[in-house]
Amino acid sequence: MIEHLSINSLGVIEETVVELDPGLTVVTGETGAGKTMVVTALNLLLGARADAGAIRAGDGKASVEAGFILPPDHKSATAAVDAGAVLDEDADYRHLVVTRSITASGTGTRSRATAGGRGVPVALLGEIGEHAVAIHGQSDQLRLKSPTAQRLALDAYGGKTLSAALKNYRKTYDTLQSVSSELQELLNQAQERALEAENLQRSLEEIDDANIEDQEDTELQDQIKRLESAEEFRSAAHISTTALSGDDNDLDAPSAESLVELARQAIDQTPGELEELEGIRNRLATVGIELSDITAEISQFASSLTEDGPYALNQAQSRLAELNRLKKLYGPDLADVLTWAQEQRPRLDVLHGDTDRIEYLTEEEQHLTATLNEQGAELTALRQEYGVKLGAQVTEELHGLLMPTAQLSVAVDPLDAPGPHGFDSIALLLQPHPGSEPRPLGKGASGGELSRIMLALEVVLADTDPVPTFIFDEIDAGVGGEAAVQIGRRLARLATRVQVIVVTHLPQVAAYANKHLRVNKDPNVEAGFTTSDVSELVGEERISELARMLAGHASSSSAREHARELLEASHA
């Protein structure tokens, strides 16, 4: 609910702060006093477009402020907190203060908004207001004009039973949409996916057939270098072994091994044992052994040089060329080629599984369609059932509002195709009198009739509507007499469940208020402007205002007596 409203320099109102009742608050005043500025202020706080023309003459800025009391989990409170607003909290409620200021400038109108002390976009005020307040003005007699709003109203009226059926339907509908979308995609892309599978299969097979080993390309490069220099290696080995161990074809040719052995024997044959020669003898023996080992290693190396070198070289070069081709296609390194193959195998499995997947999705689509048809039929039956009840309740209210022959009905008609909210198009229809054709709301009814229809709907739907505050701006236009009394009664009944704020010119309505506010006009002829403020009326002040509304002036004794009767009747 709205706890208080502060207005500064808006229209003819210079400055005022009003406390609003949690039940029914009425706002009255003479024509031109500025009653509608209260609604204008609330509209600004709910994100309406700012107009510099609404700023009070002589001032450059107007501002409005409202304090909301909301349940802890209310959507408006959550939206404000998400935007950074700071809310005061107690055991049961959260308190949110919202402000809006408009400033006239040479380039147009500037607007600033805050929520919970934090500057916020004006659009956030609209989001807060959407869930906190419903405003009905003379130009917007019915908030339930659109088919969407009417469907939501009927579904809310159906309570948990209809809500559960709709939830099950939506779950099936969303799943069916997903399945159908995937199936259609597979069918539309069958040829492309088959070609992709064929190419991917060929690529993976050539990688598998290559039987790649880690670092194989590096080893092949070393092998090719070795094979390309095989003759040079063989010649060097022959020269080296001949120099070290001699030539088998020339036994007299000297060799390093024989010369070292000759030197060792010469030292070994010297007479006596000299310590200096003993060390030389041992070193020569070691050199001889080392030369023998080197010769053996060179011979082994020479033996490893295969005679089919050209063939082996050709094989190695061909293998390296194949590996380089794979690297060019699938990755800069062999490791990348293997990684690519590993990553693509699941994709190939998916593509190969298309046929099975299509069969599965086709069966699933058929099953879900059958389930959706059952759930849609159930939803339609429930809407028809609750539509009859809603129509009967609203009709009863209309009869109480002096529309004794009016009938409201709910048409539940099939859509061309199932939608996310069911198979149904919902329409609220009014039959003004027997024999007339039921017509959509808002067509063929007078302003006074529209006011009563809207009020009847609001009274019936109040228990299911999440909006905690209703504001009515002279919705009783074109109504009088007993019909006005009945409107006042129903507004009072509505106010037992939600907060109701009414701008009215009818004393029959004002008499039912828990709080009566009057907009007071103070024209300054010399200065050329009018100033208004808002005050609460109690006791005789309220009697005087009701008398003014009844007879045009507050001093009429008969009007004051009638005003007392209205108050007594409303209290009764």
Tell me how far apart the alpha carbons of residues 532 and 530 are, in angstroms, rounded to a whole number. Answer: 7
* Distance set, CA 565 to CA 482, 546, 548, 561 (Å): 14, 11, 14, 6
* Distance set, CA 335 to CA 200, 330, 338 (Å): 18, 10, 5
What does the block give as tokens for 82?
């998400």
In sequence order, what DSSP letters do the residues of 403-444 get, joined into one string? -TT-EEEEEEEEEEEEETTEEEEEEEEEE-STTSPPEETTSS
pLDDT of residue 382: 97
What does the block give as tokens for 113?
């908004």
Class of domain 1-140+467-535: alpha beta
CB 542 within 8 A of CB 568: no
Q: How many residues does the chain have?
A: 572
Q: How many CB atoms lie within 10 A of CB 450?
A: 19
Q: Which residues pair with 515 in a beta bridge?
A: 25
pTM over 0.75: no
pLDDT of residue 221: 86
pLDDT tens-digit map of 57-94: 778 889 999 999 998 888 888 888 888 888 888 878 88
- Strand 439-440, strand 529-537: pairing: unpaired
In sequence order, what DSSP letters do the residues of 472-497 get, joined into one string? EESTTTT--HHHHHHHHHHHHHHTTT
- Strand 469-473, strand 133-136: pairing: parallel
Distance of CA 219 to the CA centre of its chain: 56
What does the block give as tokens for 531?
């100033």
pLDDT of residue 132: 87
pLDDT of residue 249: 64
pLDDT tens, position by position, for the chain (572 residues)?
999 999 998 888 888 898 999 999 999 988 777 787 888 888 899 888 888 888 887 788 899 999 999 988 888 888 888 888 888 888 788 899 999 999 887 666 788 999 988 888 888 998 888 888 887 765 555 566 778 888 988 998 999 999 999 999 999 999 999 999 999 888 877 777 778 778 888 898 898 888 988 888 888 888 777 776 666 666 676 778 777 777 666 666 677 878 888 888 888 887 767 777 888 888 888 888 888 888 888 777 766 665 556 777 788 888 888 888 999 998 888 989 998 998 888 888 777 767 788 889 999 999 999 999 999 999 999 999 999 999 999 999 888 888 889 999 999 999 999 999 999 999 999 898 888 889 887 676 666 677 778 888 888 887 776 678 888 887 766 677 888 888 888 889 889 989 999 988 899 999 999 999 998 887 664 555 667 788 899 999 999 999 998 887 777 788 889 999 999 888 87
What does the block give as tokens for 112?
């600033």
Tell me how far apart the alpha carbons of residues 546 and 534 are, in angstroms, rounded to a whole number. Answer: 16
Q: Specify the DSSP class assigned to residue 54.
A: G
List the chain domain ranges.
1-140+467-535, 208-349, 538-572
Tell me how far apart the alpha carbons of residues 384 and 464 are, in angstroms, rounded to a whole number. Answer: 18
Residue that the structure tokens 């003379």 belong to: 138
